[in-house]
Chains A and B, each alone.
Chain A
């Protein structure tokens, strides 16, 4: 089943055209990694998938629903699409547990005991069960990002978007976060991951998309894209980073 379909997506910031003509299809349970130089539009592409950026042109369908349709309730769609940010964006005035339970309590109207119970399970899953009562300010970067993943998972999303989830982390913290993401991939989560972690892309990606200058230049299974890139720009990029 197709989870995400992107047709002729365009995005401009004023006169600056960041996404020029993006077409992509992401199937259920697929893990798609998006790589490319900075300024290539990869984060903007990701942020268009839950309309965190307003879309200038084209269409994005999430499970068949056109999110560029102004009549659509985007908040409903966003409940199905979790997002993890480079800067974590935890809510600093709430405990870890409150961070995770906020959206389910306010949006799903479940009872608090059940939401707490589920949040604790998710925190255990990301290895932070004992931090439920802590505030984000008391956590390391890697711990914050794992809480952010648990927070997104609390809404039972069908798709998870990751926007450079390990780029702001100290190197020794990266492994823990990638481990959680791998676990999620193995469980069959549909994932779109903008990343500089080529190791993760190669190991976990079902497909890798290389973006440059607002276009998808090349996409392929990781082995092919990394070992036998067809396009010159892909080759140039890979030769710089590998």
Chain B
């Protein structure tokens, strides 16, 4: 117990970094996902193909390999210099982006094509149709899947400890290896993750109720 209390300030520091990386990465990830989903559905075959290659490449490789490639691999290029945190955020964002792209694509395609026909027949162009008719409806259907992916991304940030980012799991490593109290420390780290993720799913439930399907 004493070991946990002593470690709490470090956990707090680590948690802040975890949440910072998570929030920034999820915002970029969502933007990437939206763009890639729209490319995937665009009328151009080349754009479809680019989007598909991206999604397949990310889904087909482990997160940790992506992280190593971005942090160690890309940094070998002369014109690129990413610090740990930037590389971490980039990896989580690029990884989540691929999954978000699929969630958004499926959501858009789940909307009845009569909706597009009605909107276009009124004279709305393709962009206006997407913005006012399709995305608002699709977004509601995507919410549960978004929550899932956000939780996965939050847990993925723990893997960033392997490149030495001092996020929550890394703080756990340090605390446990200095105290040798692996049981208490890792139990406490688990509880902290659990609480954060539980709060996140409460927030998601609330949002879902607010944007109730009609």
Interface residues of A (CB under 8 A from B): 50, 52, 75-76, 78-79, 81-83, 85, 87, 89-93, 102-103, 106-107, 135-137, 148, 151-152, 155
Which of B118, B132, B136 interacts with A90 by CB under 8 Å?
B118
Which A residues touch B136, using CB under 8 A? 93
Among all A-B residue pairs, the 4 with the closest Cβ atoms: A79-B123, A89-B118, A89-B114, A83-B121
Chain A CB within 10 A, most for which of B118, B121, B125:
B121
Report the minimal beta-carbon distance from A169 to chain B, rounded to whole angstroms. Answer: 16
Supposing A93-B136, A106-B128 touch, asked if A78 and B120 sit within 8 A by C-beta, the answer is yes
Report the minimal beta-carbon distance from A26 to chain B, rounded to whole angstroms. Answer: 17
B122 touches A79 (CB 8 A): yes
Q: Does B157 contact A (CB under 8 A)?
A: no
Q: How far is the CA of A92 from the CA of B137 in the complex (A)?
A: 8
Q: How far is the CA of A76 from the CA of B114 in the complex (A)?
A: 20
B117 touches A85 (CB 8 A): yes
Which B residues touch A83, using CB under 8 A? 117-118, 121
B123 touches A78 (CB 8 A): yes
Supposing A93-B136, A137-B214 touch, asked if A152 and B117 sit within 8 A by C-beta, the answer is no
Q: How far is the CA of A156 from the CA of B64 in the complex (A)?
A: 59
Which A residues touch B118, using CB under 8 A? 83, 85, 89-91, 148, 151
Q: How far is the CA of A92 from the CA of B141 in the complex (A)?
A: 13
Which A residues touch B124, using CB under 8 A? 75, 102-103, 106-107
Which B residues touch A107, using CB under 8 A? 122-124
Q: Does B84 contact A (CB under 8 A)?
A: no
Give the total number of A-B pairs whose CB atoms are below 8 A apart.
64
The residue of chain B having its C-beta at the shortest distance from the C-beta of A79 within the complex is: B123
Which of B120, B125, B137 interacts with A93 by CB under 8 Å?
B137
B114 touches A85 (CB 8 A): yes
Q: How far is the CA of A135 from the CA of B117 in the complex (A)?
A: 20
Which B residues touch A76, using CB under 8 A? 123
Which of A92, A102, A137, A151 interacts with B132 by CB under 8 Å?
A102
B122 touches A92 (CB 8 A): no
The residue of chain B having its C-beta at the shortest distance from the C-beta of A151 within the complex is: B122
A–B complex contacts, Cβ < 8 Å, 10 sampled: A50-B121, A75-B120, A75-B125, A83-B117, A83-B121, A89-B112, A89-B115, A89-B117, A103-B122, A151-B118
Which of A75, A137, A148 interacts with B123 by CB under 8 Å?
A75
Q: How far is the CA of A89 from the CA of B122 in the complex (A)?
A: 12
Q: Does B155 contact A (CB under 8 A)?
A: no
Q: How far is the CA of A52 from the CA of B116 in the complex (A)?
A: 10
Q: Does B133 contact A (CB under 8 A)?
A: yes
Q: Does B140 contact A (CB under 8 A)?
A: yes
Report the minimal beta-carbon distance from B207 to chain A, rounded to whole angstroms. Answer: 15
Q: How far is the CA of A152 from the CA of B132 in the complex (A)?
A: 17
Supposing A91-B133, A102-B132 touch, asked if A78 and B122 sit within 8 A by C-beta, the answer is yes
Report the minimal beta-carbon distance from B162 to chain A, rounded to whole angstroms. Answer: 44
Supposing A92-B214, A106-B128 touch, asked if A78 and B133 sit within 8 A by C-beta, the answer is no
Which A residues touch B115, using CB under 8 A? 89, 91
Which A residues touch B122, using CB under 8 A? 78-79, 82, 102-103, 107, 151-152, 155
B121 touches A52 (CB 8 A): yes
Q: How far is the CA of A23 from the CA of B98 in the complex (A)?
A: 49
Which B residues touch A52, using CB under 8 A? 117, 120-121
The residue of chain A having its C-beta at the shortest distance from the C-beta of B116 within the complex is: A89
